């Protein structure tokens, strides 16, 4: 297995398959690079080099106690990019990974970046504030932290079985394999990283990051996202970047890269080829 070591001594696991223009995938909370299987296999077969890493404290990366914030996430991603000397890369981020991508580009510049894609992503900011009255109350995220701290395994079984993939919607047939794979990925990571990560994904304001991005950005969001509500995320992000395109998916859930992979992959490919 492939690892790099960050300047603060954290081992970051990554996958690097194929050749051609690189696509770099940043996963959501509390998962791992395995959540991109459907995308990595698809784009590998279409002649791209596909790269994905496990965020610090997640998956196979070191379960350190500290550094679970967007600055460290962005710097760890930059370390992977530099180690592999990736040029002309397309950065794709889902959920928390979308925040990671936005912060990485703003913090480390666009010299290695060709395009970016934000899928069901947390920017501009999730929590309700005076400047973000449409956000979710902080109590929602406090409750998630409480669940992680006290009953993580049960919570990680319940979330994918309901809101994450929209399996709680009438007429939607739950997939036990998808639910168990979500649980597997979540339980591979560290509880401390996941606890702190809730603050990172919910309270970080990515507005200034988005305003710095000049490369083409595709914002993909389902209007039935029960985890990152549509109205306070996708449309706002697409307006804040200088060269943004919003693609809205009627009825699609938060985890649409998995449950709606055929549609998402085709639209991603069209964006890459445009």
- The catalytic site residues sit at 95, 225, 254
Q: Are 199 and 94 in contact (CB under 8 A)?
A: no
Q: Are 57 and 64 in contact (CB under 8 A)?
A: yes
By CB atoms closer than 10 A (0-12, 13-18, 19+), residue 43 is: buried
Q: Are 3 and 35 in contact (CB under 8 A)?
A: no
In this structure, the number of other CB atoms found within 10 A of the CB of residue 89 comes to 19
Q: Are 96 and 197 in contact (CB under 8 A)?
A: yes
CA gap 109, 213 in Å, rounded: 9
Give Cα 106 distance to the centre of its chain: 16
């Amino acid at each position: 297995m492939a690892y790099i070591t960050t300047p603060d001594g954290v081992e970051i696991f990554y996958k690097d398959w194929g050749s051609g223009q690189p696509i770099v995938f940043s996963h959501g909370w509390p998962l791992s690079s395995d959540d991109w299987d459907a995308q990595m296999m698809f784009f590998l077969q279409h002649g791209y080099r596909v790269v994905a890493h496990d965020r610090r404290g997640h998956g196979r990366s070191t379960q350190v106690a500290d550094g679970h914030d967007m600055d460290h996430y962005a710097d760890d991603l930059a370390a992977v990019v530099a180690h592999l000397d990736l040029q002309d890369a397309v950065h794709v981020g889902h959920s928390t990974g979308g925040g990671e991508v936005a912060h990485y580009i703003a913090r480390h510049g666009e010299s290695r970046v060709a395009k970016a894609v934000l899928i069901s992503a947390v920017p501009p900011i999730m929590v309700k504030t005076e400047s973000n009255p449409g956000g979710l109350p902080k109590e929602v995220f406090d409750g998630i932290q409480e669940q992680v701290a006290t009953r993580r395994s049960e919570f990680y079984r319940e979330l994918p079985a309901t809101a994450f993939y929209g399996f709680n919607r009438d007429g939607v047939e739950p997939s036990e394999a998808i639910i168990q794979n979500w649980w597997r990925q979540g339980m591979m990571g560290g509880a401390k990283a996941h606890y702190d990560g809730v603050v990172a994904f919910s309270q970080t304001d990515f507005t200034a990051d988005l305003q710095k991005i000049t490369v083409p950005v595709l914002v993909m969001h389902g209007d039935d996202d029960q985890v990152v509500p549509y109205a306070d995320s996708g449309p706002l992000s697409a307006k804040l970047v200088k060269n943004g395109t919003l693609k809205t998916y009627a009825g699609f859930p938060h985890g649409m890269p998995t449950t709606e992979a055929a549609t998402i992959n085709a639209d991603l490919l069209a964006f890459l080829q445009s």
